[in-house]
Amino acid sequence: MSHTAAAIRLLARNPERGVTVHRLMAYLGLPADSVRALLRDLRSEGLVRDDPDGEACLPAGPLAPAEPPLAPPDCNDLRASAMNWADALAARSGMSVCLAVPHPVGVQIVHHVFRPDNTPQQLLTGGIRPATSAMARAVAAPHDRRCVYAADTGRPDDASLATAIPCTASYAVALGLTGPRRRLDPSSGGSARYAELLLDTADAITDALKGRPACGTHAGTPAGSYRRGA
């Protein structure tokens, strides 16, 4: 996919809040001058406009036709599509990363990337997070394009920030960061950076999932995990 096509796809997914230059830089892997030049071209074609505050670019109109809905991915496809992006998110954020699917009491973790440090850590894959967790709350409203914060009741110094990755109109998975509460708490003022990293990664995983073969059932769901609709 070209940088222009990727930028248009990201803008089309954010018609109301728009996309900042910084977010486009992170998403496209381009320097600021290249992103600004790309946006100038899009403006000249009448495809984007600046928001009233001048902090983001907004689509000037519909940028892409509606795409056919995807069938929910099985867990093997999901992990394969998300693995590299989840690793990169852990490295850039310094926090642990989890990918989770819906479960009757919340969400079940299907992929876990350790924090990139030397502290003792326990593999969380297969574990359940309750409905009050950040990942479960994000999945409950998957099309809000928001990041949900929740403190970790078992570890008072830790917290989680999560967002949803919609796969179909009725099915979404969750992507979450877990780390020091002082960094992720929105009241600290520093959580915006992590929210941006999280949303960029969710967008990248969405694009990766769109390139997978369609799968109508969860044939690859690990033993003991919840199969939606079962």
Q: Which of 68-77, 86-95, 115-124, 155-164 has the lowest mean pLDDT?
A: 68-77
Nearest to 173 by CA among 97, 107, 80, 223: 107
Fold held by 75-210: Beta-Lactamase (3.30.450)
Residue 58's pLDDT is what? 76
Which residue is listed with tokens 């852990």?
90
Whether 146 shows a pLDDT value over 60: the answer reads yes
Residue 134's pLDDT is what? 92
- Higher-pLDDT residue of 53, 132: 132
- Higher-pLDDT residue of 88, 3: 88
Delimiting residues of CATH 3.30.450.40 domain(s) in the chain: 75-210
Q: Which two tokens stand for residue 71?
A: 């069938």
Write phi, then psi, for 35 (nearest 5 degrees).
-65, -40
CB 24 within 8 A of CB 7: yes
Give dist(CA 44, CA 82) in Å, integer: 35
Residue 173's pLDDT is what? 92
Give dist(CA 165, CA 205) in Å, integer: 8
Query: Residue 109: which H helix or E strand, with range?
Result: strand 106-113
Delimiting residues of CATH 1.10.10.10 domain(s) in the chain: 3-59
Nearest to 73 by CA among 223, 230, 229, 210: 210
Say what the pTM is.
0.64
pLDDT tens string 106-120: 899 999 999 998 888
CB 163 within 8 A of CB 146: yes
Residue 97's pLDDT is what? 96
pLDDT tens string 23-67: 888 777 788 888 888 888 888 877 888 776 666 777 776 555 445
- CATH dotted code for 3-59: 1.10.10.10
Name the residue type at position 138.
A
